[in-house]
Chains A and B, each alone.
Chain A
Amino acid sequence: MTNPPKILIVEDESEIRKFLKVALQSNNIQSVECDNARDVPAQIIGTRPDVIILDLGLPDKDGQELIQEIREWSKTPIIVLSARFAEIEKVQALENGADDYLIKPFSTAELLARIKVALRHANNGGDDGYLIEIGDLQVDLSKRQVTFCGNEIKLTPIEYKLLTELGKNAGKVITHSQLLYAVWGKRANLDSSYLRIHIQHLREKIGDDPMNPKYIFTIPGIGYKTRGS
C-alpha cells in the first residue's frame, strides 16, 4: 500500500464532513467530499475512492436507492452512516449492497476500524486466496478442510459453506437472507430458523459458545459476522 487510501464522504452536514476529514487525515487517509446524491457517480468515476462513506438521509435522494444504483456498476465498499436506527433499515442497506452500517452518533475509533475492514476487502479484490483464518480456525478452501490448531474438524457441506461464507466476509455483517441465498441458493425462501439451527451445530463443532462467542457473532435482527483476523 504505497498510496494513502482515499475515501469519498457523502454527507450533507458540513460539520460532520469537517470532523471526519480531520479524523481521517490524522490516520493518514485522504478524503473527498460530496454533499448530495446527484454528484456521487461522477465523484466515484473521477476520484476512484477505496471506500465510500454514505449518509442515508441525503436531501436529494433516499440513500437506500443510491446504494442500489451504485451497486449496479461499482464494487467500491460502502459504509452507511445513519440516524435511522430501526433494524429493518440496516438489513435493507446491507441487502442493497452496503458493506457496513453505523448509527449516528458513532465513535471515530469504531468508524476507523470499519474502514480498515472495508479497505482490506477492497484490496483483496474479492479473492481471499485458498486459506481463510478465523481466529484459531483455519479453512483450506483447496482441500475443503477445516482445522483447529492442526486438528481437522468434520463439517457437513452446509456447515462448511456457512463457515466459508462468513469467513470470506470477515468483519462484515451478512444478513440472514444473504446467508440463506449463499448456502442454499435459489430455493432460499427457507425460514431463518433453519439457518440458526445449522449455525448452532456449527458452533458446537468448532467449540464456539453462543453465550461467549469467539468466531461467529450473532447480530440480532440482522445476521451474523465473524471477526476479522
Chain B
Amino acid sequence: MRLMQIQNRTRQILVNYSFALAAVLVCTLLCLPLRERVDAISLTMVYLAGVVIAAARLGIGPAIFTSFLSVLAFNFFFTKPYHSFEFYDASYYFTFSVMLITSLIVGSMTAQLSRLLKQTRDEERDTHALYDFARGLSELKSKEEIIEFTKEFVGNFFGGKCVFANELSNNSASQLCDNVSDASVIITNRSVVADDFSKNDIIMHRTFAGLASSAIARAEADEKAALYRFESDNEHLRNMLLSSLAHDLRTPLTILNGTLSNLFKHRKSLPREGVNELTSMSIQLNRLQNFVANSLRMASISSGAIKLNCETYTIQEIIGAAITRIEPQKENRKILSTINGVIPMVSVDGALMEQVIFNILDNAIKHTKPDGEIRVIISNNVDRIEIAIKDNGDGLREGSEQYIFEKFYSDREQGHNNSGTGLGLAICKAIVKAHGGNISAKNVEPPERGAIFAINLPIALKLSTESAINHD
C-alpha cells in the first residue's frame, strides 16, 4: 500500500523533470533557426523564459534543473564551435555564470511566488469551504441530516469518499483508508484519513470532523430535550386525566355514601323491606367503590403515572398495617403469622406494598368460611424474602394459576362469591413486578385444602440493625 504511494510520488517527480527537460528542448528548438541571425547572448533570454515557466509550473527542483540544463544546451548549440561543449571566446565564462546565476535566482523566486499564490488560493478555498460547511450544519436539525450533509460535503471537498465512524468500527475505518485511495473517515472528535493527505488536508479534515461532531452533539441534545418535553407533557396529561377521572367518579360516590348513611339513621321509622333495600344498596355501593378504587389504582400503575416511592421497611410492619386495615372485614377468621429466621429490611413503596398484602388477604377472606384461618409466613431466602399467604378455603380452580393475576379474571370459583372486581390480584402483580419481585399462586398439597399466594421480593440493602443504632 505504502509502496504504491511512494511509486506515485516518484512518478510525479519523474514527470516534472521530464517537463523541465522538454522546456529546455522547446527553447533550443525555438532558438536554432535564429542561431545565425541573432546575437547568441540575446538567445539566453529565451532560456530564461523557459526557466521562469518551469519554475512557475513545476516547482523549485525542476527550475534549478532547467537552469543548469539551459546553460549546457546554450553552450552546446549556440557557442562556436557548435555541437560541442568547447568554446573559443573566453568571455562566455562570464555569460554562462551570469546566465546560471540569473536563472537560478529568477527560477527560485518564481517558484516561491507561485507556491505562495497556490497557498493563498488554497487557504481562501479552505476558509470558504469551512464557512459553507458551518453554515450548512447550522441549518440542519436532525443527526441523520447532519451525517448525510457531512458525508457529501467532505467527500466532495477532498474528491473522495467520506464514511462516518459510527457506521464502521475503528479497524475497518483504517482498512477502508488503506484500500480506497482518497477515502476519508470521520470519527467523532477525531479523524482518520488516507495516508496521501497533505498536512493541510489533515488539519482541514480534523476541523470538519470537529464541526460535524459538535453539530451532532447539539442535535442529540435537542432531540433529548424534545423527547423529555414530550414525556413530561405526556405524564402531566396522564396525571391530569386520572385526577379529574378520580374526582368525577369519587364525588358522586361520596354523596351517595353519605346520603345513604344518613338514611340509615332513620331505619327505625322505615318499613322492614325499606331497610333491606337500603342494605342491598349499601352493599352494591361498597362494591362500586372498591371497583372505582381498584380501577384508578390499576390505571395509575399501568399508565406509569405512579412512581415508586421506595423506603426501607421491615416487611412485618407493612403486613401489620394491612392486617389492621382488613380487621373490620375478617369476621371470625383468624389471621396468624409465622416468621422463619431473621428477616432483613426491604426497600419498597410502603403504601403500594401494603395494598398488595391487603388485596391478597381480602381475596383469602372472600374464599374462606367465616371461621377460616389465614396464615402469613415470612421467610428469608438468601437474597430474597418470601411472603406466603395461605388460607384453608376452597382453593384455586384447576388450571387457573396462570390466569388468576390477569386483569378482569374474576373469581376462583364461579358463583361462590361474586364480589370481586377482577382487578385486585392484577394490581398485586403489577406492583410486585415494579419492585423486581415475583408473585405466584397454587393450591395447598392435599389432603389439606386452600390456596397459597407467594410473593418474593429482592433485599435491597443489607442494613444491620446494630450498625444503625450505634450510629447515634
Contact = CB atoms under 8 A, between A and B. Distances in A.
Interface of A: 13, 15-16, 19-20, 22-23, 26, 57, 83-88, 103-109, 158, 176, 191-194, 196-201, 209-213, 217-222
B324 A222 contact: no
27 contacts: A15-B259, A16-B255, A19-B259, A83-B247, A85-B297, A87-B309, A104-B250, A105-B250, A105-B257, A106-B257, A196-B312, A196-B314, A196-B317, A196-B345, A197-B465, A197-B468, A200-B314, A200-B317, A201-B465, A201-B469, A211-B320, A211-B337, A212-B337, A217-B320, A218-B321, A221-B351, A221-B352
Contacts of B300: 86
Nearest to A27: B265
B471 interface: yes
Tell me which of B247, B254, B319 has the highest count of chain A C-beta atoms within 10 A of its own C-beta.
B254
Given A19-B255, A108-B257, A221-B350, 17 more contacts: A13-B251, A23-B261, A23-B262, A83-B247, A87-B309, A104-B250, A198-B469, A209-B320, A210-B317, A212-B323, A212-B337, A217-B324, A218-B313, A219-B321, A220-B317, A221-B309, A222-B350
Q: Which 10 A-B pairs have the closest CB atoms?
A: A220-B350, A221-B351, A193-B312, A19-B258, A105-B254, A218-B317, A83-B250, A220-B354, A105-B253, A210-B316
Contacts of B257: 105-108
A222 B296 CA distance: 20
Contacts of A26: 262, 265
Nearest to B339: A211
B83 to A, nearest CB: 106
B258 A16 contact: yes
B394 interface: no
Contacts of A199: 317
Contacts of B376: 211
Interface in B433-472: 463, 465, 468-469, 471-472
A193 B310 CA distance: 11
Interface of B: 243, 246-247, 250-251, 253-259, 261-262, 265, 289, 293, 296-297, 300, 306, 309, 311-314, 316-321, 323-324, 337, 339, 345, 349-354, 376, 463, 465, 468-469, 471-472
Given A23-B261, A197-B465, A218-B320, A13 B255 contact: yes
Given A108-B261, A196-B314, A220-B350, A16 B324 contact: no
A85 B255 contact: no
Given A197-B469, A212-B320, A217-B321, A108 B309 contact: no
Contacts of B323: 211-212
A192 B351 contact: no
A213 B251 contact: no
Contacts of A22: 262
Contacts of B351: 87, 220-222
A42 B40 CA distance: 123
B324 A191 contact: no
Given A26-B262, A84-B243, A194 B465 contact: no
A85 B239 CA distance: 12
Contacts of A109: 261
